[in-house]
Amino acid sequence: MGTLAIVISVLTIIVAVVLIILVISQEGNSQGLGSSIEGGSDTFFGNSQSRTKEQLQKRLTAVFAVLFAILTIVLYLLTK
């Protein structure tokens, strides 16, 4: 295994760990019937900041997923 393959392997592992953390830390899209029955404490203005954090987290997840796929393909081609 060459030096470049080792570097890409380490980067792939780091990206995979970050991707796992991002996916685990995201909230689910459906909150069930509990929030609709209880009425939920979010207001129109108070909920906007959490939406931007969720959107940023979703974008980061997509970026890291694509980066993981690219690194995996490059690593496969290098070790072929």
pLDDT over 80 (residue 14): yes
Query: pLDDT tens across 21-59, in order?
Result: 999 998 776 655 554 555 555 555 556 666 788 899 999
Residues near 67 by beta carbon (within 8 Å), at least 6 away in sequence: 15
pLDDT at position 52: 87
Contact 5, 75 (CB under 8 A): yes
pLDDT at position 33: 52
pLDDT over 60 (residue 3): yes
- Tell which wins on pLDDT, 75 or 53: 75
Write down the pTM of the prediction. Answer: 0.71
